[in-house]
């Protein structure tokens, strides 16, 4: 059984994209570091999925804070964590499900 690293975010201090995602050169290829950490500590990223930050901190690389999901999962998480966006949910609701921003 794997021991949790920490409840706290582990922040990437290397290079960042303009959107604040950490990245690095891995095997000569530029990769988003949260995706690399997911693959190293959790396993392969399922086909068609992205890696979400359950902590909402884009430069966090704590594997305990990373989860695979699709764009709708990511959008729904954002709406749940940011209730001030209620107007968006009321405007687009579940009808927007397959085309979440």
Dihedral sign from CA coordinates of 43, 50, 96, 99: negative
Q: For residue 47, what are the contacts with CB-CB under 8 A and spacing of at least 6? A: none
What is residue 84's predicted lDDT score, i.e. its pLDDT?
Answer: 66
Burial of residue 67 (number of CB atoms within 10 Å: 0-12, 13-18, 19+): middle
What is residue 1's predicted lDDT score, i.e. its pLDDT?
Answer: 42
78 located within any domain: yes
**Local confidence pLDDT in tens for the 101 residues of the chain:** 455 567 899 999 999 999 999 999 999 999 999 999 999 999 999 999 999 999 889 999 999 999 999 998 988 887 788 766 666 666 666 544 454 44
- Computed over every residue of the chain, the mean pLDDT equals 84
Q: Which residue segment(s) compose the domain that 78 sits in?
A: 23-96
73 located within any domain: yes
13 located within any domain: no
Q: How far is 87 from 9, CA to CA, in rounded Å?
A: 30
28 located within any domain: yes
Task: Work out how many domains the chain is built from and give that number.
Answer: 1
What is residue 100's predicted lDDT score, i.e. its pLDDT?
Answer: 45
């Amino acid at each position: 059984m794997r021991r949790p690293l920490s409840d706290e975010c582990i922040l990437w201090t290397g290079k960042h994209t303009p959107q604040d995602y950490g990245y690095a050169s891995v095997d000569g290829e530029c990769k988003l570091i949260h995706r690399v950490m997911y693959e190293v500590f959790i396993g392969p990223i399922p086909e068609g999925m992205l890696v979400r930050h359950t902590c909402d901190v884009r430069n966090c690389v704590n594997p305990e804070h990373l989860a695979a999901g699709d764009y709708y999962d990511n959008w729904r998480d954002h709406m749940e964590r940011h209730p001030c966006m209620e107007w968006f949910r009321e405007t687009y609701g579940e009808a927007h499900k397959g085309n979440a921003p």
